[in-house]
Chains A and B, each alone.
Chain A
């Protein structure tokens, strides 16, 4: 869809903070980039492996806590935080995936819900490590070695999040043109047939799940160092629901879809601030409408339009 126009898209994304001009909108851009990264990681499970998970926010939270705790209590340089977060989140992802991926479909989704709740509860009650429901505050802002850049400013942090987002998006694109990614898709489409062509279904799923949780960990670390306050609520169902909405509304199984979905979520969240909790109803309605009328998400509208154009041009 954006083939050939990629440099333009990157350029536009690059100058966005200057275009929007004010700090509040720049703050929303950072949130968008981080959410887009998280949505892409969830998309790997929902869109590529074809399994629904309700536990994804837990890995987001694990990443945020890992990076915050290591940098505050153990002197880990902040720029290494996202890497540490990826490793720890991937570890939890691999262990939970190893157990949960033996079953499929709704049972898998329910199991991930259970594991997510367990991690949430542990975070809430292990006060010595996580400071419990009070959360951790005064987390050091992101920093890069040898560079004196103030990443508490949204217009600076935006570029960190954007670079990570673009790297992950490119990684997803590369994945889809590799034998690893084709194995993901084959497993989603028809697991017994995939096995009959030599693909180890369980290991393929475990690999995808672990990578996805590692990326969620990276997103969590960036989020924590940006907002500088984290609470166990990061792991709550509210975030799970938000990520699922981004992926489904944007378009699962695509790269641009979850990125757009994240943008819509962040924009609506702010636009609907006046209606308070009622916005959750709006999100629910949006999700329901998408599932029923637009199962391919918003990006499928483009494909329909482009398809019609192509058909019209040919006739």
Chain B
């Protein structure tokens, strides 16, 4: 794989909380156009890795390179400005705004004209507004929420709120989308639809890093898996190969049959 095909590369990622080493020396990479799954049992350090990649807190040591830039320890908004957008494990929306306004509020990175343009209603502002509106509508149609556009986000049923979260993240125009347990609380049918949506997101040219519990979702959608246990990477590779890896079977034993 050529060097510039790597979108995200992580080396020696370590995070300590006091005496506890939550993540130790993790190495992983995401290629352009790839869907990478990060899995592991509870307490494996998936969320800690995720939070470091998303800029919630800096790593204790290690390097994170994104799109040719060293982004180690950058705060969330700077990561997002560069095209690395995260979602949240617990449903996270702009609750009182309408569905459409949710996506528009997330288009900060795309919008160019500020207050002065709006005050004088410049041509640039009008064009910008029209383009943003079209784009927001397109994203809503993409996640099949077009019919809900004027509803307040907080009034949506749970499954649609999770879809809207993805729409909001897409509104920020990412090149790499970090999804934190998007299938949490979904039934198998919704999970299957989610798999389709993640594939469609990749087809839009957005690479995806997925942290997930649901094995069915992970096996169905990921090109490659990285398995963590106790903060250490224990396996990496194609989903089928990883599922039969003895270490992976050992850590999942008694919890859930891999690939089921």
Contacts and interface: CB of A to CB of B under 8 A. Distances in A.
A56 B118 CA distance: 26
Interface in B81-133: 81, 85-88, 92-97, 101, 104-109, 111-115, 117-119, 121, 125, 129
Interface of A: 170-171, 174-175, 177-183, 185-186, 189-190, 192-201
B106 A201 contact: no
Contact of B105 (A182, A192, A195, A200): A182
Contacts of B54: 196
B94 A190 contact: yes
B75 interface: yes
Q: Which 6 A-B residue pairings sit nearest by Cβ, starting from the closest?
A: A179-B111, A178-B118, A189-B94, A198-B80, A197-B172, A174-B118
For A181, A185, A194, A195, the residue with the greatest tally of chain B CB atoms inside 10 Å of its CB is A195
B171 interface: yes
Given A190-B92, A192-B92, A193-B168, A178 B113 contact: yes
A196 B169 contact: yes
A175 B118 contact: yes
Interface residues of B, number: 41
Nearest to B104: A182
B29 interface: no
Contacts of B172: 196-198
26 contacts: A170-B119, A174-B121, A178-B118, A178-B125, A179-B108, A181-B115, A181-B118, A182-B108, A185-B94, A186-B105, A186-B108, A189-B94, A189-B95, A189-B105, A190-B94, A190-B95, A193-B93, A195-B75, A195-B80, A197-B106, A197-B107, A197-B109, A197-B172, A198-B85, A198-B108, A198-B172
Contacts of B56: 192
Nearest to A167: B119
B108 A199 contact: yes
Interface in B221-259: none
Contact of A177 (B85, B88, B92, B129): B129
Given A178-B115, A196-B54, A199-B108, A186 B94 contact: yes
B80 A196 contact: yes
B9 interface: no
Interface string B18-42: 0000000000000000000000000
A295 B11 CA distance: 50
Contacts of A180: 114-115
